[in-house]
Structure 1
Amino acid sequence: MNIAFIRVQSRGGADNTLRAIAATLGGQGRRLIGVLPEPCVAADRHACDMDLINLATGARLNISQKLGGGSTGCRLDGSAIETAAMAVGRDLADSCIAPDLLILNRFGKQEATGRGFHPVIVSALERDVPVIVGVNDMNRPAFESFSAGLAAELADSSVAVLDWLGSSPRPVAA
């Protein structure tokens, strides 16, 4: 199984490393699919609001519910996650040439229950596309079960991810 994860130890953990990997590999002309988060900074947005940026298309999708300023509940919009996952699934299915890497910032609650990006990860692995994902401690047991313990745990560093890609069964082509 050609999958690795970075342990997410804090809110937004691993995001900067995954952004750096996407920038480095994208700058080299590598074919990337997946999504990375981008905080919403507009005055009318809540501090916890978040958009996902599709790495293949650059499209931006808001994944936060608008719950009002006083709300303390989870703002994640499960339907928006499903929409983003379907778009990345189409990016994978429509690729004439296999992507070099699938990057996802989280294996979260949706994926732990078989929804969200779960089927996209499975499709990528079936196509021998390497997968890198962030995993927090709460969802790690589900991720370990999903990956049958075969995922490589990487340090939260660009060097570790690039080293893994260079030694993975299907190295990212130069």
Structure 2
Amino acid sequence: MQIAFIHARSRGAADDTLRSVAATLRARGHHLAGVLPEPCTGPDRHACDMDLIDLATGARLHISQKLGRHATGCRLDGAAIETAAMVVAGGLAAAPADLFILNRFGKQEATGHGFHPVIVSALERDVPVLVGVNDLNRPTFESFAAGLAVELPDSPRAVLGWITPHLRRHAA
């Protein structure tokens, strides 16, 4: 079981590293599973509105609720996260992946929902897993990983250094 995380010390802190790693691995011909965030754009969008991009298909998965311009509550749509997780799980089951990436082990995953079962499925399939983890959810993630997760610096070079030996073994 290969699982690693980047400690995201602020909102979205690990996203650029994860995007860079995904782009590099794709350019090397590796098949990826998982999701990365993509901000929503447009006149009716809030700065916190978010989509996820399915790394296997490129599909855009909307995960934010439309609460109105002045709303201050969490915009995450739990049902949309569950739907996105099912889409990604289906892709993972249909085609082998060299790496599963999740931008954030968040509130949903900490309670056993969202992408939690997809992470488990990837690990059961011997697919290495890379996630971003914030301060709030780190204790739950560490409990979930049972001491087996490797903490990586927020650096594409460090992440590629960790994953490259596992990719070779996985591809063999």
Q: After TM superposition, which residue ranges in structure 1, 4 or more long, deviate above 6 angstroms?
A: none
Corresponding residue of 1:49: 49
For 1:49 and 1:66, how far apart are their aligned partners in 2?
8
* Structure ranking higher in helix proportion: 2
- Shift of the alpha carbon at 1:12? 1.0
Corresponding residue of 2:74: 74
How many pairs does the alignment contain? 172
Corresponding residue of 1:13: 13
Asked if the contact 2:101–2:129 (Cα under 8 Å) also holds between the matched residues in 1, the reply is yes
Structure 2 counterpart SS, 1:120 = helix
Please give the per-residue CA displacement for 1:103-147, whole angstroms capped at 9, x wherever unaligned. Answer: 100100000000000000001101110000000010011101100
Corresponding residue of 1:134: 132
Q: TM-score, normalised by structure 2?
A: 0.96
Corresponding residue of 1:149: 147
Asked if the contact 2:33–2:92 (Cα under 8 Å) also holds between the matched residues in 1, the reply is yes
For 2:61 and 2:170, how far apart are their aligned partners in 1?
27
1:38 counterpart letter in structure 2: E
Structure 1 gap ranges (5+)? none
Calculate the aligned-residue CA RMSD, in Å.
1.4
Structure 2 counterpart SS, 1:103 = strand
Q: Percent identity?
A: 72
Please give the per-residue CA displacement for 1:50-102, whole angstroms capped at 9, x wherever unaligned. Answer: 0000011110011100001110000000011101100110011111xx21000
Corresponding residue of 1:105: 103
Q: TM-score, normalised by structure 1?
A: 0.95
Asked if the contact 1:5–1:152 (Cα under 8 Å) also holds between the matched residues in 2, the reply is yes
Structure 1 counterpart SS, 2:66 = coil
Structure 1 counterpart SS, 2:101 = strand
For 2:102 and 2:138, how far apart are their aligned partners in 1?
15
Task: Check 1:161–1:90 CA distance in 2 against 1; reply closer, same or farther (3 A cut).
Answer: same
Structure 2 gap ranges (5+)? none
Asked if the contact 1:128–1:170 (Cα under 8 Å) also holds between the matched residues in 2, the reply is no
2:115 counterpart letter in structure 1: F
